[in-house]
Chains A and B, each alone.
Chain A
């Protein structure tokens, strides 16, 4: 089975712009979670989608949003980018019934200038 794929792998944006990141989960997986990883804060949970519905949300401002499509692919969007949004954004896929088995993609590295 192919693993979790994320596009793009690298992105450079300027403050105030918006960005959309994409994640394709493992075939058959219905749950997609998004995390932000920074050297200072480590890995932090953004949100999780299951069957096109947001099932859980972390403590991030409303500038961070996401959605899931009927084929389980997911996108996350960050509007009005700030310098502090520079991070590795990781997507994790899970069957959805056994939540602990989350499999991560390679991540999208976002740099905000």
Chain B
């Protein structure tokens, strides 16, 4: 079993829809949780990061972490065609563990005009 599980999709939604992306994990030592967006043939771009449990909002994006359920989510409101990309969750453990991020497989999102 992988440490981080993410549904690869593909997920197709109409423009303006609310998108929900999710990851589950097994390692209770994870404390830092991130979402990256990766466009085709590009490197991942950091969207959101959260420490421990809770919610964080940035514009149309909201990240949620539920450590008790080992479950994290990213919500995208008013989705746009430009949001079409692969979304990767990533997480890490202790603060000084030396840059090692564990990634989910990524969910491919397509927003149709």
Contacts and interface: CB of A to CB of B under 8 A. Distances in A.
Nearest to A96: B99
Interface residues of A, number: 25
B53 to A, nearest CB: 15
Q: Which label, helix, strand, loop or mixed, suits the secondary structure of the A interface? A: strand
Interface string A80-112: 000000000010101000011111111100000
Given A42-B105, A99-B92, A104 B45 contact: yes
A43 B86 CA distance: 12
Contacts of B46: 101-104
Contacts of B92: 99-100
Interface in B12-68: 32, 34, 36, 42-46, 49, 51
A48 B98 contact: yes
B101 interface: yes
Interface string A54-88: 01101000000000000000000000000000000
Nearest to A100: B32
A19 B34 CA distance: 31
27 contacts: A33-B100, A35-B103, A42-B105, A43-B88, A43-B90, A45-B99, A45-B101, A48-B98, A48-B99, A50-B98, A55-B99, A56-B97, A56-B100, A90-B43, A94-B99, A99-B32, A99-B95, A99-B96, A99-B98, A99-B99, A100-B32, A100-B34, A101-B49, A102-B101, A104-B36, A104-B43, A105-B43
Interface of A: 4, 31, 33, 35, 42-45, 48, 50, 55-56, 58, 90, 92, 94, 99-107
